[in-house]
Amino acid sequence: MSLRDALKLTNKLVKIDDMDVVLRRPSIADLVEAIEVSGNPKIHFAAWTVLNHLLEENKPMFSSLEEVMICDFRLVEKIGKEIDILYNEGRDLPAQS
C-alpha cells in the first residue's frame, strides 16, 4: 500500500480470477455513505461497493444496484473484498506521536 496513493485516491488495479480490475479508492464521503448503507438490511453491501467503486475506462461500470445484483454473486463478493481492503488502508500504519 502506498499512503500517497491512498491519500490522493489513486485508482487501484487488482487481479481477480485472472482479470485485471480497476477500483476507485474511497473518499471520506464514501466512508460516511458506506456506514449508512451497511446498516440497511435491504442493500447488499458488496454489491453497493461494486456499484460505487468498480471502474471501466475510468467510469463506473454499473449505473444501478439492480445491474450489479444480476451479476455472478461469487465475483461480486470477490471484488467487494478487494474494495473492503481499500476502505481499511492505513489502519495498519504505526501511530504518530
**CATH code at 66?**
3.30.2220.20
Residue 95 lies in a domain: no
For residue 78, what are the contacts with CB-CB under 8 A and spacing of at least 6? Answer: 16, 17
Q: Which pLDDT belongs to residue 66? A: 97
In a domain, 92, yes or no: no
Domain limits for position 8: 3-87
Establish if 70 belongs to a structural domain. Answer: yes
pLDDT along the chain (97 residues), means of 10: 83 96 96 94 96 97 97 97 91 65
Q: Where are the strands (E) in the chain, listed by range? A: 12-16, 19-23, 54-56, 59-60
59 backbone dihedrals φ, ψ, rounded to 5°? -130, 155
Q: Looking at the domain assignment, is residue 10 inside a domain? A: yes
Does residue 96 lie in a domain region? no
> Does any domain span residue 60?
yes
State which H helix or E strand residue 27 sits in.
none
Q: For the chain, how many structural domains are there in total?
A: 1
Q: Helix, strand, or coil here: 30?
A: helix
